[in-house]
Amino acid sequence: MKLSDKIAAHASTQPFYTFEFFPPRTDQVGYMPKLVRFLLNGRQGFDNLISRISRLSLLHPIAISVTWGAGGSTRGRSLDLAGLTQSEYSIDTILHLTCTNMLPGMVEDALREAKARGIQNILALRGDPPLGQEHWTPIDSRFTSALDLVKYIRSSEEYSSHFCIGVAAYPEGHSENDINEDDAINILKQKVDAGAEFIVTQLFYDADRFIEWTRKVRSRGITTPIISGVMPIQTYASFLRVVKLCGAQVPSNIMVDLYTIRHDDQLVKDYGVRLTVDIIRRITGSGLVSGIHFCTLNLEKSVQAVLESLGWAGGSPIVKNKLIAGSPLPSIRPSLPSSDLVVTPSLATTTAANALTSKPSLEVEPPGCGELNNAATWDEFPNGRFGDYKSPAFGMQDQWGGLGINVHAVQSHWGNPTRTEDLTKLFLDYLDSNTSSTPFSASPLSPESGTILEHLKKLTRKGLWTVCSQPAIDNADSTDDVFGWGPKGGYVFQKGFVEFFAEENIVCQIEKRIEMEGKGWIHFFAANSQVGCGTRRELMA
């Protein structure tokens, strides 16, 4: 169903809301190298996300959205996910569509496939520069902005009447544009005049500034529904990355509050819920916005907690008998959509399973107890340094992905190494804090690395260019300033490891030393661009 029709029919006194998801990194294993395919072992991230979306759908969002991925990097996975939620699970889905890296014909292909899968809502975006590029450049000269996408869809006999089109707005300015606020609103009006039917805003943390911006938009005669983008804070580190990426202006009191509790993940998450609730209450109380768009980061508990705090998640839906059928049936009455009478086998199974396992939120068991609660909370905190590939949220903080830095912006610090000595100097400069990043490390050295710093320098001087490491930790408190993570009352145990680049002959020497002197205590994994190398091809648990 078109989002514009659902918004028009929304009769509740409370605002509607939508949820945003991104395709996991571990779904399309067929496109991955053989070695990585073996390690990831299937579609866990994708399947777990589907289960998560199914559970969150019980909170009755008006729709969900699926991102297109930085630089168009997930176009195939985005279509797969959006098509599945729309056709198999009957959840009205908004497909993000960008101009980035879209070769001639790709936009038409995406629209054709979206229509074939029953998707009726498109969020038209220009998109971010492709990975590793400093500036955005068009690939298909017809599509240089979101406005071009809107005009193209509206001019098409095949797609104009089928799709409801949304566009983005930037209350605090676009991170890549220096245009003033008036010009930005003029561009927004052009997109609306061209045929956009709803507006989704960039996330923000300054409610007063957002309300002021919204009043200016309305004063320009833009009456299109505005859906406010919000993102509950999950961790202090990810919050800083998001703010930097989006250029969001965060009130100083919020920064001070978060800095004070930055070492306690549970307190940060709880603060993020309270802050989001306060922002939503203030902006919806203004009467200027139509709904809320939750950037979930593929996590669910904070979103659920926000809706429960607002009192929007309660109430039992009216139960109707439905026919389980493999394809939709025509509506019996024009006023009653066929989706009210027919359910797919997949959705029927999921709904029944959720009904059998669901509990009122106030009775949810602590993490680690209960099958349903495990599924909802097992990845709400960092699962070690790298995360868990089975998590739907795996990769959301990838340093060179959507939350990373621009390579070209820092390349002046790296130079252009041509010899092994140049590489050694680059990595040593990073270890000595003379530069804040390398092509493989987007942020400065972490405090815990300081405890093994001399070892890292020694390895690097020998031509083992270290890119990642951690010291062995036995029973550190979870609130420890250097090693702690997660909520209070926990303990940190971790194995020591070091990851580095090295020439093949050095790797073979290391292998022999491990065989002779390791005594079974040291495991290693080595690989080049083709195959693994070494007799003990084991990943550290």
Residue 377: CB atoms within 10 Å: 19
Q: 20, 172, 197, 380: which one is catalytic?
A: 20
**Tell me, what amino acid is at 470?**
Q
Which residues lie below 8 Å from residue 420, measured CB to CB, with a gap of 6+? 463
Strands (E) in 240-360, as ranges, are 291-295, 323-324, 342-343
Residue 434 exposure: Cα atoms within 13 Å on the Cβ side: 9
The span from the CA of 203 to the CA of 210, in Å, is 10
Judge whether 20 counts as a catalytic residue: yes
d(CA 240, CA 287): 30
User: Count of residues for the chain?
Assistant: 541
d(CA 336, CA 285): 32
What does the alpha-carbon distance between residue 394 and residue 495 come to, in Å, rounded to a whole number? Answer: 21
Alpha carbon of residue 318 to chain centroid: 33
Closest CA to 49 of 17, 71, 16, 82: 82
Q: Which residue has the tokens 């972490």?
A: 446
CA triple 171-183-164, angle to 5 deg: 65
For residue 145, give the DSSP letter. Answer: S
Angle between helices 265-285 and 252-260 (to 10 degrees): 160
**Residue 119: how many CA atoms within 13 Å on its side-chain side?**
28
**The pairing of beta strand 63-66 with beta strand 16-21:** parallel
Active site residues: 20
